[in-house]
Structures are given as structure tokens and as C-alpha cells.
Amino acid sequence: MTGAILSIQSHVAFGHVGNSAAAFTLQRMGFPVHAVHTVTLSSHKGYPGWRGVELKAADVAGIIDGIAELGVLGDTVALLSGYLGDPGMGRAVLHALDRLREARSDALFLCDPVMGDRDCGFFVDPAIPGFFRDEMIARADIITPNAFELGVLADRPATDLTSITAAAKVLLERGPKLVVVTSAEIDGSNDELATLAVSAKEAWLLRAPRLPVSLNGTGDTFAALFLGHFLRTDSVRTALEMAGSIMFELVERTMQAGSREPRLIEMQETLLAPSRRLVAEPLHTGG
């Protein structure tokens, strides 16, 4: 499927998080991007002295309406959303989905339910987990939680292969067609991380060596890569292998360069074809 992608996320002047990661990634893959920013910051908040402004939900909804009135949403094949400041911004994203589906009923919605991680806990408004659980994920076609976020959304442990696939099945019953789980530890080992893609029809597991580095924006980049490669191939397995392989190479080379920011620009050719293709394993999840 080809066409434009509507991406509603944060924006930073320096670095690669939110739209500052996703928009370039998708554009390099050949997708025009309508990038709607929820905040504009000097950098992500992990840097000292950051500055910026946060848009109101009504402002974002108004920008969406302006895009719709241009008549371009009929050529827009997907909506991508990431970090939300509060449930009001989440409802602005759902307003965007409504406007998009009015123009194109087959458009996909990939929701990255950003809430936190196992090493830091929650870093969002306390109302956000309930909003994702009760309102957002039922409207999404694809969701890309990390293992911590999966457990929160499913309200059950998601700590090993069995419990992660069971939690993914719980979410499939609530509306999404595909659950892609990142940063999963499936065997109690610190040597590798896994990414799982689970739908009603198929399930795949992709293993990658764990690298001793933590970078901001990797989840935003992965979501964009998975969406782009899924739209290009209509294959869950191929999208998982491509996104996972590219992310491993991106993080590895960023670490080798001693950079705090993912080397997206320097590695843009890798966004299309990684030098090493990781191979996904089929999973038998009991139907």
C-alpha cells in the first residue's frame, strides 16, 4: 500500500525522538508524511535545560481539520501516534482517525502506547494508562507496546514467552488486529532481547543480541519502520524482520560511534536494507 502517512507525535529541534525520528524514517522509505507536532522542544527532556511549548488538544484537532479541508486525506494510508501528554491529546488523535477514516476507510492506525518501561516505571500523566486501555487500543489496527506496557494494558504479567503471548491475545480480543511487543526478555537471560508479533492468524518471534546502551527514540523509530515495511510488503514477518534488523544495526553503530543520538541521517540507506537480516521464528500459541 502506498500513500501518505499522518504522524501525530512530539517534535524536537535537536535529536531524534517522536516525529523527529519517525518522519525522516518514513520519508526515506518513500512515504510523504503529514507531521503534526504535539509539542515542540529544544531536545527531549533527558537533556538539561530543555525548552519548548506544548500544543493544546484543540490546536492539534484544528490542524487535523485544516489538513482534512485540503482534501489530501484520501491519499493518506495510515495514522501513526506516539507519546501523548494527556487523554485530551489522545482524543485529538482519535478525532484525526475519524477524519482520516471518513476520507479513506481502509487506512491503518498504528498506536504506540508510550507509558514507561520496566527500568523506570511510568513517565506519563497518571490518566494515560487507563485512556489507552479503555479508549485507544480498541480503535487501533496495530499496537506496539514494550513488554512493560503490554502487562499494563492487559492487566496481567508479561515477563516470559508464555505470559507475553497470553497478554497479547488478551489485547487482540479488545480490537487490534496485530500486537507487536518490543524489548521483551523471554528466557531470563540478559544476553538478548526479543520482539514478538502476534495476530489471530500468526505469531513470530525475533531475537537480537542485547547491546549495552540505552537510547531515546528507538521505540519511535521502530514503530515507523514496522509501519512502513508492513505497508510496503503486507507481511507481518517481513515487517518484523526488517524493522528489528534495522534497529539492531542502528543501535549497534550508534553505540560504536559513541553517540547519544541514533545515527539516523548517517545510516539512512540502512532504513531500506540492513546489512544483516535477522530471521523470525514462527510461534505456536495454541490457536
Residue range 159-168, pLDDT digits in tens: 999 999 999 9
Query: What pLDDT score does 199 carry?
Result: 98
Return the pLDDT at 202. 97
* CA pair distance 30, 249, nearest whole angstrom: 20
- Whether residue 198 is predicted with pLDDT greater than 70 in this model: the reply is yes
pLDDT class for 286, splitting at 50, 70, 90?
Answer: low
Query: How sure is the predictor about 118, in pLDDT bands with cuts at 50, 70 and 90?
Result: confident
Q: How far apart are CA 174 and CA 169, in angstroms?
A: 9
Spatial neighbors of 276 by CB under 8 A, at least 6 apart, are 245, 248, 249
Q: What average pLDDT does range 103-132 have in this prediction?
A: 89
Cβ pair 278, 244 in contact under 8 A? yes
pTM score: 0.96
Using the predicted structure, report yes or no on whether residue 3 has a pLDDT greater than 90: yes
8 neighbors 38 (Cβ within 8 angstroms): yes
Asked if residue 242 lies in contact with residue 29, where contact means CB atoms within 8 angstroms, the answer is no
What pLDDT score was predicted for residue 195? 96
Residue 4: per-residue pLDDT: 98
Indicate whether 287 pLDDT > 70: no
- CA pair distance 124, 182, nearest whole angstrom: 19
At 219 the pLDDT is 94
How much is the pLDDT for 190?
75
Mean pLDDT of 144-167: 94
What are the residues whose beta carbons fall under 8 Å from the beta carbon of 16, sequence distance 6 or more? 24, 216, 217, 220, 221, 261, 262, 264
Q: What domains appear along the chain, each with residue ranges and CATH number?
A: 4-282 (3.40.1190.20)
285 pLDDT more than 80: no
Q: What is the mean pLDDT of residues 203-210?
A: 95
Check whether 122 has a pLDDT greater than 90.
no
